[in-house]
Amino acid sequence: MTSFRSMTSPSPAHLRRSPSQQRSRDRVERILDAAAAIVDEEGLDALKVVDIAKRAAVPLGTLYQFFARKDDIVYALAERFAQRFADVLEASLAGLDADCEWHELLDLLLDAYTAYYRSEPALRELWVGARLDPEFIRADHQHNNSRFANTVADAMAEKAKVPRDELSTMIYVCWEASQALLETAFRSDPDGDPAIIEQTKVMAARYLAPAFAQEGRAAT
């Protein structure tokens, strides 16, 4: 099975230079941690490079060695969120029972998605708040969601009643739609509107049910 970790680019495109030593990598992590904390506490509009450097306890000149401008920090932070979510998905599948039904896997992944959104307030500000370039979001979805769909299709292909490639396309469409609905759930409620989250699960299950020759589950 393809690792979810491979869903994301190995080196953030928005770094001025990629850190080669552990000390430098630690500094970049502190910079991103500081940016995330400020976004969480004060919002994206309050984010300033000088405040990021101060909070990260790194000289301003050191910050500029890695990031040319604030926007590069924001997009590197968004890329890190995507990388960490890949880890969350992989961890969710690590102990998966081979006999797990497709709808159980679907619920598991959607629950992991909503839990991650709840745990990362800065992520909600960036993604749900529509503060990122639409082209960046489109490219991220196309790259990561395609890999995600292929990975899940590989895991469930033996139980499906449709060809593997068709299953992958269905999972891709389902995940794109589910993401949009879950972002709506968190746009209206910081903890995620429970009714929208539940209906997202119902929608996703009913859409994928024909691939497994089953009726979509009813709303609970």
What pLDDT sits at residue 168? 95
In this predicted structure, what is the pLDDT of residue 220? 41
Rounded Cα–Cα distance for residues 186 and 118 (Å): 8
Q: What is the dihedral of CA 127, 131, 134, 137, to 10 degrees?
A: -30
Identify the CATH number of the domain in which residue 187 sits. Answer: 1.10.357.10
Q: Residues 146, 186: one domain? A: yes
pLDDT digits (tens, 9 = 90+) for 51-60: 999 999 999 9
On whether both 31 and 135 belong to a single domain, the answer is no
Q: CATH number, domain at 45?
A: 1.10.10.60
pLDDT of 85? 82
Q: Containing domain of residue 52, as a range? A: 20-68
Shared-domain flag, residues 135 and 159: yes
Out of 17-21, 196-200, 215-219, give the one with best mean pLDDT. Answer: 196-200
- Taking residues 15-25, report their average pLDDT: 75
Residues constituting the chain: 220
C-alpha distance from residue 72 to each of 31, 67, 69, 218 (Å): 12, 6, 6, 44
* DSSP-based three-state secondary structure for 124: helix
- Indicate whether 12 belongs to any domain: no
Q: Is 160 helix (H, G, I), strand (E, B) or coil?
A: coil
pLDDT at 180: 87
- Interval 126-149: pLDDT, tens: 766 555 666 666 666 667 788 888
* Number of domains comprising the chain: 2
On whether residue 9 sits in a domain, the answer given is no
